[in-house]
């Protein structure tokens, strides 16, 4: 299932892990399948190491724990966009 033809114009997606219709892991998987060059940063309150590990194994650029401060988020975004 194609998410959005506009994906090709994005370099980075920042998303929460828990969302109403599709979780961040499923979104990450779809982005990887359709546009593998897009960096994905997941933000989550989940502390389960297995969730973090799964996201990174599937190709997430980073998994940031909530609450995160703006400097941490800005640094992660900057790193993702220069690599």
Count: domains in the chain:
1
CATH code assigned at 75: 3.40.50.2300
**Stated length of the chain:** 83
* Residue closest to 32 by CA, chosen among 13, 52, 6, 51: 13
Query: What string of pLDDT tens digits covers the 83 residues of the chain?
Result: 445 555 567 899 999 998 988 899 999 999 999 889 999 999 999 778 998 999 999 999 999 999 988 999 999 999 999 97
Its domain, for residue 33, covers: 5-82
Judge whether 13 and 40 are in contact, CB under 8 Å.
yes
The pLDDT tens digits for 2-21 are: 455 555 678 999 999 989 88
Rounded to two decimals, the pTM is 0.86
The CA-to-CA distance between both ends of the chain, in Å, stands at 28
């Amino acid at each position: 299932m194609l998410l959005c033809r506009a994906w090709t114009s994005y370099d980075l997606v920042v998303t929460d892990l828990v969302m109403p219709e599709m979780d961040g892991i499923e979104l990450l998987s779809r982005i990887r399948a359709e546009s593998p060059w897009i960096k994905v940063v997941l933000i989550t309150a989940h502390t389960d190491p297995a969730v973090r590990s799964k996201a990174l194994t599937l190709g997430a650029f980073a998994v940031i724990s909530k609450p995160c401060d703006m400097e941490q988020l800005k640094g992660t975004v900057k790193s993702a966009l220069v690599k």
